Homo-oligomer: A and B are copies of this chain.
């Protein structure tokens, strides 16, 4: 499969994730405005993928002759919750060779996915069915994905693996994207309504839940796609382990805990479109799962277990 984000000499080409699975279309992003629009409209989505997109976006901005600080602010604020975007944009802005730095971020993301996949495969050696939420695979990253990276790693290693995917309303990233990419890879996938996840877990249909993350705070609180918190509570109630997979670039030691994470509120139409109702809507794109509900983090630096304040700090300490 083509990569979700590709750099082509002087512009980005991305798979238009708003069109899948009905149409496979490539969107060409040649200006900062194109990049910001693609990130805001979720043409490109997934915390690692928008980080990579933002990194090359800074390079495009410099080619356009735009002022660096303005480009950094414009792209960095396109979506507020995932920290990868800000991290990547700032790294490129600080670099002496911005293009080389953007390519490095792209490569690192690909390699991080492989490491997450292998750490996850070891951790979840006995798991045959994983329940997941949203999309965290090839469409959400530059590589095999984070939570779905673990699924791909198990599958590539010849292990028995099947996935239960939630639809993930309102934008149906599970129904449209995860179902599509797993089917494309030949991995068995069963789609469920978001509201069926509790019953599925209670019925013992999944050996573990594994999700991605948009931002992990220093204490292990996790911002991720709306519905993640509910899955964590339901996993605990059903005594099913709850894993969060993501690269350290999705962790933010400067965010002390979940209360400090800005949660993006998306337009009402995303919800209203489905039913044709004309009423008020509350449409948060993310929620915060408290650290105590997380069994472990599967990162590109290994599996982090409680107490997370310590193990997250250690993971960053060992990098510096």
**Which A residues are closer than 8 A to B by beta carbons?**
21-22, 133, 164-170, 172, 174-176, 179-180, 182-183, 188-200, 202, 205, 225-227, 229-230, 233-234, 237, 271-272, 274-284, 287-288
> Min CB distance, A191 to chain B, in Å?
5
In angstroms, Cα B279 to Cα A191, docked, is 7
In the assembled complex, the Cα of A133 lies from the Cα of B183 at a distance in Å of: 32
A200 touches B167 (CB 8 A): no
Q: A172-B275, A199-B284, A202-B287 are in contact. List 13 more A-B contacts (CB 8 A).
A: A21-B277, A166-B195, A174-B275, A180-B277, A183-B278, A183-B279, A192-B281, A192-B282, A194-B227, A196-B284, A198-B227, A202-B229, A230-B230
Set of chain B residues within 8 Å of A233, measured between Cβ atoms:
198, 233-234, 237
A166 to B233, CA, bound (A): 18
Closest to A227 in B: B195
Indicate whether A191 sits within 8 Å of B230 (C-beta atoms), given known contacts A196-B282, A196-B287, A282-B164: no
For the complex of A and B, the 4 pairs showing the least CB-CB separation, nearest first, are A195-B227, A175-B275, A198-B230, A179-B277
Do residues A277 and B226 form an inter-chain contact, with CB atoms below 8 A? no
Query: Given A233-B234, A271-B167, A275-B179, are A227 and B280 neighbors across the interface (CB < 8 Å)?
Result: no
Choose from B188, B195, B197, B276 the contact partner of A22 (Cβ within 8 Å). Answer: B276
Nearest residue (CB) in B for A189 is B279
Q: Is the CB of A169 within 8 A of B193?
A: yes
Contact of B271 with A175 in the complex, beta carbons under 8 Å: yes
Copies in the complex: 2
Check B176 against A275 for contact (C-beta < 8 Å). yes
Partner of A280 from B166, B190, B193 at Cβ < 8 Å: B190
CB distance from A21 to the nearest CB of B (A): 5
Q: Closest CB-CB distance, A232 to chain B, in whole Å?
A: 9
User: Chain B: which residue is nearest A287 at the CB level?
Assistant: B199
Contacts of A167 on B, CB cut-off 8 Å?
169, 271, 274-275
**Contacting A277 at CB < 8 Å: which of B183, B198, B230?**
B183
Residues of B within 8 A of A195 (CB): 133, 166, 168-169, 194-195, 225-227, 230
Q: A233-B233, A233-B234, A280-B191 are in contact. Are A226 and B275 (CB under 8 A)?
A: no
**Distance of A175 Cα from B273 Cα, bound (Å):** 10
CA of A272 to CA of B21 in the docked complex: distance in angstroms? 11
B-chain residues with CB within 8 Å of residue A21 when the two chains form the complex: 275-278
The residues of B that contact A165 with a CB separation of less than 8 Å are 279
A191/B272 contact (C-beta < 8 A), A167-B169, A196-B287, A284-B196 known: yes
Q: Is the CB of A189 within 8 A of B280?
A: yes
